A = this chain, B = another copy of it.
Amino acid sequence: MRIIDRVLAAVDRVAPPHVAHAHCDLPCGVYDPAQARIEAESVKAIQQKYNDSNDEEFRTRALQIKEERADLVKHHLWVLWTDYFKPEHLEKYPQLHELFWKATKSAGESKKTTDTAVGQRLLDEIAEITTIFWETKKG
């Protein structure tokens, strides 16, 4: 368990679940990049499990479930890009378009491969988006 995990676990112990990370300024106005991240963790975990297994049935199922999970990553990222981010965010973070384009392309690529490096790259790109997202919340 990494240090940061311990810290978070400690914090969680105090008051984990109520914490509303995400606020809302639109009709369905609650956004949280965690939705994309959780599905992307699933994608990478499936890639790993696929590589660790010799069971043909298991591997066939893994490919199918990975397809669905990667689709959910794309969906959650697209929603963030179109629905959450505003022109003023773009001005401050001009890399946003390219970042989302690459991240959703990585999600697509992670359907086509069981290389966990692609799953990890996807997680890294979502991490970049997450950092920007929370910075805009502090603004």
Contact = CB atoms under 8 A, between A and B. Distances in A.
B97 A12 contact: no
Contacts of A37: 17-18, 20
Report how many copies the assembly holds: 6
Contact of A17 (B5, B18, B28, B34): B34
A32 B4 contact: no
A11 B17 contact: no
Contact of A45 (B29, B61, B126): B29
A138 to B, nearest CB: 6
Range of interface residues on A (Cβ < 8 Å): 35 or more
Interface string A1-38: 11111011101111111111111100111101111011
A78 B82 CA distance: 9
A16 B92 CA distance: 20
6 contacts: A8-B127, A9-B137, A17-B34, A27-B65, A30-B39, A65-B67
Interface of A: 1-5, 7-9, 11-24, 27-30, 32-35, 37-39, 41-42, 45-46, 49, 57-58, 60-65, 67, 69, 74, 78, 81-83, 97-98, 101, 104-105, 108, 111-112, 114, 123-124, 126-131, 133-134, 137-138
The 8 closest A-B pairs by CB, nearest first: A17-B127, A97-B97, A17-B130, A24-B45, A30-B42, A82-B104, A78-B78, A30-B41
